[in-house]
Amino acid sequence: MTRVLFVGYEPETVDFSDPALPPGITAERIHAGIAVAMKGFAERGWEADLSLIRPNETAVPTIERLLASKTYDCVVIGAGVRLPPRGLALFEAIINTVHNAAPGAAIAFNTRPEDAQMLLPVGWGLEAGLSSPVPTNQPVESQSRGSAFAKGTRAKRSDQETKVPE
């Protein structure tokens, strides 16, 4: 069974006045979107765990503990974690933690809480438990709304091939 870890900030900790966030977003909309995403994961037959972290020094150890407890095929990192520029250092720490603690897991990013389950379409190999979901024969622009990269996979971008470092 495919296992997905969905990581985002506790909605009540989000600064909704930040212009980097979509207009009109609220804690209630985030909670509702997460519910839609979690239902979508289940409908695909995927086991999904949700980790709502605080944007502070507890975030990285929380993710490390979760990644040590199970093997995940993919870690989806929410837009609220990656979008606000002032959170860049924590976002980088989270990416590095996932890369180090779960080197076989794909890393994906959503654009809204409710689209997380649509990031990895059927056919990318996660249903079969494979850890390399990026198709090598599709341009990056034609992939779904989010992006996913696994260590060592190849993806084409326009006229050049890019090798993700191992």
pLDDT band of residue 118 (cuts 50, 70, 90) is low
Query: Rounded to 5 degrees, what angle do the CA atoms 146, 151, 156 make?
Result: 60
Q: Give the tokens for residue 157.
A: 């971008």
Q: Which domain holds residue 92?
A: 3-163
pLDDT band of residue 146 (cuts 50, 70, 90) is very low
What is the total residue count of the chain?
166
Residue with tokens 């990656």: 82
Partners of 87 in beta bridges: none
pLDDT of residue 119: 57
Mean pLDDT across 138-156: 36
Indicate if the pLDDT at residue 127 is higher than 60.
no
Q: Give the tokens for residue 62.
A: 């929380």
Alpha helices in 44-147 (DSSP H): 59-69, 79-82, 88-101
Q: Give the tokens for residue 96.
A: 């590095």
Query: Rounded to 5 degrees, what angle do the CA atoms 51, 52, 54 make?
Result: 130
> What is the pLDDT of the chain when averaged over all its residues?
77
- Cα–Cα dist 107/127, whole Å: 16
User: Do 150 and 143 contact (CB within 8 A), yes or no?
Assistant: no
CATH of the domain at 7: 3.40.50
User: Over the Cα atoms of the chain, what is R_g?
Assistant: 15
**Which of the listed ranges 100-104, 116-120, 131-135 does the model predict with the highest average pLDDT?**
100-104
Domain total in the chain = 1
